[in-house]
């Protein structure tokens, strides 16, 4: 994990807040400029056809996938399987945290 308030990073998991894919999660695979990023999830949005998204229309999460980040920095590519794995890993961590929190709220 890293400081996610500093702005979007390559390999960071985000939640889409506007558009058709609202409330879905994706991973930043490229930073176009200060305003736009390219997103992919490895399933609907493959690496070869990423979604260009305004940073105002996404919500950053504190989770940065080191596997995806390292692959993109070393080879400028990442497999769709790696993207799906990173999103599944993030989902399992979020669900685990929520389950732990549910027992303490009673």
- CA-to-CA dists, residue 41 to 13, 97, 105, angstroms: 9, 22, 33
Q: Which helix (H) or strand (E) holds 100?
A: helix 80-104
Q: Domain ranges in the chain?
A: 4-101
State which fold the 4-101 domain adopts. SH3 type barrels. (2.30.30)
Q: What is the pLDDT of residues 23-66, one digit of tens each?
A: 999 999 999 999 999 999 999 999 999 999 999 999 999 999 99
User: Look-up: residue for tokens 């303490």?
Assistant: 104
Q: What angle do CA 15, 19, 24 make, to 5 degrees?
A: 30
Q: What is the pLDDT of residues 54-102, one digit of tens each?
A: 999 999 999 999 999 999 999 999 999 999 999 999 999 876 776 666 5
Q: Is this model's pTM higher than 0.75 or not?
A: yes
């Amino acid at each position: 994990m890293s400081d996610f308030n500093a702005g979007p990073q390559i390999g960071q998991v985000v939640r889409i807040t506007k558009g058709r894919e609202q409330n879905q999660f994706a991973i930043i695979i490229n930073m176009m400029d200060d305003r736009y990023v390219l997103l992919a999830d490895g399933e609907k949005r493959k690496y070869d056809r990423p979604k260009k998204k305004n940073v105002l229309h996404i919500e950053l999460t504190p989770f940065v996938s080191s596997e995806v980040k390292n692959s993109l920095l070393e080879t400028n590519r990442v497999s769709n399987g790696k993207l799906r794995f990173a999103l599944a890993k993030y989902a399992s961590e979020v669900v685990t945290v929520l389950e732990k929190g549910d027992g303490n709220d009673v």
